[in-house]
Amino acid sequence: MLLSLILFGALAGAGYAQETADTALNALRDPSWIYGVQAYGGTATMATPPIPGAPGRYPSSWGAEFRLGRVLTGEHAEGWRRGTLEWDFTIIPIVQYFVNGRSYYMGGIEAVAPRWNFTRVSERFVPYIGFDGGMLIGPNKFPPGDTSRFNFTAALDLGTHAFTRHRQSFDTTIRLHHVSNAETGKYNPGVPLSIQFMLGYTWY
């Protein structure tokens, strides 16, 4: 009797896991809407170039994002490259940078955010690669000095969706991030390169 219950539970769990994976993967294999939240933290891997009155620094940061995405295509390509094209729009309510004991708050958006989902690598995990382009604005000039309150951002994302429940996934991402005011201020030291570690959750 006990053995029968164990076998039944194992088969039911395996069936549910397969159904969950198939359902979520199907959502990424065809055009559909995606909603998600993300939080991240990181630090600069290169110092900001020194400017008059502001020496080079290594800023660290954390932030939170709300993401709305759309899978635009069905699957294309062959083998491990097979996947779908997604386009995201991200609202960034808060980013906080820390520089020499002082905090700088900003918010913004990422409107240029294509992503490729590799939908045939695994039944439970979908790796992805993406590019994000956007802007940040805050009450103070950042980086410190005679710079600008407005900055553009560019990033390269490498991550994975790990499907957990019906049409839901837990997401992990490594991001290479660049900040520049594009000469909108007197000086443009920017943040040449940061590495950020992101955790998120997505609904399909």
Per-residue pLDDT for 17 more than 70? no
Q: What is the pLDDT of residues 81-104, one digit of tens each?
A: 999 999 999 999 999 999 988 999
Average pLDDT, the chain: 88
- Report pTM: 0.85
Please give the full DSSP string across 86-138, using - where no structure is assigned.
EEEEEEEEEEEEEETTEEEEEEEEEEE-EEEEETTS-SSEEEEEEEEEEEEE-
Contact between 133 and 91 under an 8 Å Cβ cutoff? The reply is: no
**Helix, strand, coil in percent for the chain, rounding step 5:** 15, 55, 30
Domains along the chain with CATH numbers: 2-203 (2.40.160.20)
Alpha-carbon torsion, ordered 192, 196, 200, 204, to 10 deg? 40
Q: Where are the alpha helices (DSSP H) in the chain?
A: 2-29
Q: Please state the rounded mean pLDDT for residues 24-39.
A: 90
**Token pair for residue 85?**
């094209």
- What letter does residue 48 receive in the DSSP assignment? P
Task: Give 105-128 pLDDT, tens digit per residue.
Answer: 999 999 999 999 999 988 889 999
Question: CB–CB of 149/141 below 8 Å?
Answer: yes
pLDDT in tens, 148-195: 999 999 999 999 999 987 789 999 999 999 999 999 999 999 999 999
pLDDT digits (tens, 9 = 90+) for 61-75: 999 999 999 999 999
Among residues 87, 201, 194, the alpha carbon closest in space to that of 151 is found at 194
pLDDT of residue 12 exceeding 50, the answer is no
What region, left, alpha or beta, does residue 182 occupy, with left being phi > 0 and alpha being psi -120 to 50 degrees?
left
pLDDT band (50, 70, 90) for residue 24: low
- The type of residue at 116 is W
Report d(CA 22, CA 39) in Å as an integer: 27
Q: Where does the pLDDT of residue 16 fall: very low under 50, low under 70, confident under 90, or very high at 90 and above?
A: very low
Listed in sequence order, the residues at least 6 apart from 73 whose beta carbon sits closer than 8 Å to its beta carbon are 31, 84, 85
Q: Which two tokens stand for residue 43?
A: 């630090």
